[in-house]
Amino acid sequence: MSRNNAQNDLGIAIRFFIISTLVLGFVYPLSITVIGLEIFPELSKGSLIKDEKGEVKGSYLLAQKWETGIYFIPRPSAGDYSALPSLASQLAPSSLDLRRKVEERKLFLESKGIDWNRCQELLYESGSGVDPHITTDCARAQIVYIAKNRSLLAVDLELAIDRMKEKSIFGIMGRERVNVTSLNLFLGSL
């Protein structure tokens, strides 16, 4: 290989590096950001939930910790519902620690009069640790407990669940579910 060919190859590599850095590091991310802001303005800003005063109360995408007893119980979180970092327990199905946590959660739900067989998702953390959804069946299993603690009629809570429920995607992917964050914020406005 001659010296000229080596210098020529080095020049090509440097130009390719600079152009790649500009395109992939600046042009592409900025164009995707602008497109996202134009096509999906709410999603690209974090799907924020605001009250009537315009104050941010949460995000449709993230579960929150709620005062037990007067709000619906979300899925457990290994990271205490923090989005930074969101994390799961990473415990194997054979883990004794996982079994202990599940038994503790069963006892907690039983102490509240909630049928844990209908609320399997309340026994295990989601992969992200901030999943805001539970099945509508699990939400309905909590109605008696919450109605008693909030002095509300069970039928009002049933209507709230029906109002906030989300269908499965295309009728085949996932189950009918409710966003606990949205549901609890709605309850707070009652």
Domain span at residue 13 reads 3-44
38 and 74 together in one domain? no
The residues near 82 (Cβ < 8 Å, ≥ 6 apart) are: 129, 130
Write down the pTM of the prediction: 0.74
Residues 166 and 143 occupy one common structural domain:
yes
- 38 and 66 share one domain: no
Structure tokens at 53: 């005063």
Enclosing H/E stretch for 21? helix 3-22
Q: Is the pLDDT of residue 4 over 90?
A: no
Backbone phi, then psi, for 45, in 5-degree steps?
A: -100, 10
Q: What share of the chain is helix, strand, coil (3-state, %, to 5)?
A: 50, 10, 40
Is residue 37 domain-shared with residue 86, that is, in the same domain?
no
Q: How far is CA 173 from the centre of its chain?
A: 17
Lowest mean pLDDT among 79-88, 102-111, 119-128: 79-88
- Distance separating alpha carbons of residues 73 and 188, to the nearest angstrom: 14
Domain check: are 33 and 86 in the same one? no
Q: Please, which pLDDT band fits residue 84 given cuts at 50, 70 and 90?
A: confident
Name the residue among 116, 107, 115, 184 with its Cα closest to residue 150: 184
Q: What percent of the chain has pLDDT over 90?
A: 35
**Residue 136: pLDDT band by 50, 70, 90 thresholds?**
very high
Instruction: State the pLDDT at residue 2.
Output: 66
Whether 107 and 94 share a structural domain: yes
Same domain (yes/no): 115, 148: yes
Looking at the structure, do residues 102 and 131 belong to the same domain, yes or no?
yes
Tell me what pLDDT residue 45 has. 79
- For 52-130, list the strands marked E by DSSP: 56-59
175 with 135: CB under 8 angstroms? yes
Instruction: Calculate Rg over the CA atoms of the chain.
Output: 24
DSSP H helices in 78-179? 96-111, 136-141, 143-150, 154-164
- How far apart, in whole angstroms, are the C-alpha atoms of residue 107 and residue 95? 19
* 26 and 69 share one domain: no
What does the pLDDT look like over 35-72, one tens digit per residue?
989 998 888 877 888 877 888 888 878 888 877 778 89
Number of compact structural domains in the chain: 2
